[in-house]
Amino acid sequence: MKQTLLIISVWIASTFMASAQFQLPALPYGYAALEPFIDSTTMNIHLNNHHAAYVTNLNKALEKYPDLQKKSIEALLAGLDKLPADIQTAVRNNGGGHYNHSLFWKLLAPAGSTSISPELEKKIVESFGSVEVLKTEFEKAALGRFGSGWVWVIKDSTGKLKIVSTPNQDNTLMSVINVKGKPVLGLDLWEHAYYLKYQSKRAAYVKAFWNIVNWKEVEKLVNE
């Protein structure tokens, strides 16, 4: 009897996940692929606990609104202020968490597997003066973010690259955020992203990030 109930429970859970609008993505590399800069345990917990919770809670928030379930995550965030009041906060927090993490996984790559192309470097120089200035300003914004949040390089409506920081799971696609732009590079500043390895040394984590940036993905996003 217990075994039958277990099978039914697993079937219900898998059926719900299969039919849910938003799904937890698979990493484009193994959990240990970013070591020693981000450890495999952190990657496993980050994806399967934290990101998975955002996906579950986002789908739950949209259960009462079938029409909204058809929208992309980008459309939901861009129209956040127009969503039903009872789900705005849930979509902001969990939809933001889902979008941010889905992008974050793509922006990471095993150390040494990508580099900044001459074309991308030219665009960085046009906006910041040099790659080193980009890194310095990015690190400054990351360390200046009090508490949890993200630091971004965004492309604004003129095509210029800018560095901004947002709290919690906010991003610059959201209609409720004053600064608008398309994220092309981002770093998770929540403690769950780095604490097992770096403890309170956020600066060390931010420095280590440059070793595992997927510059090919950054260039793709900049050119889109």
Condensed to tens digits (0 to 9), the pLDDT of residues 56-94 reads 999 999 999 999 999 999 999 999 999 999 999 999 999
SS3 label, residue 188: strand
pLDDT value of residue 19? 58
Q: What is d(CA 113, CA 150) in angstroms, rounded to the nearest whole number?
A: 24
Bigger pLDDT: 72 vs 14: 72
Share of the chain above pLDDT 90, in %: 91
Condensed to tens digits (0 to 9), the pLDDT of residues 105-157 reads 999 999 999 999 999 999 999 999 999 999 999 999 999 999 999 999 999 99
Label residue 95 by pLDDT band (50, 70, 90): very high
pLDDT value of residue 5? 43
Q: What is d(CA 169, CA 148) in angstroms, rounded to the nearest whole number?
A: 8
C-alpha 191, offset from chain centre: 14
C-alpha Rg value of the chain to the nearest Å = 19
Domains and CATH numbers, the chain: 118-223 (3.55.40.20)
Q: CB count, 10 Å around CB of 174?
A: 23
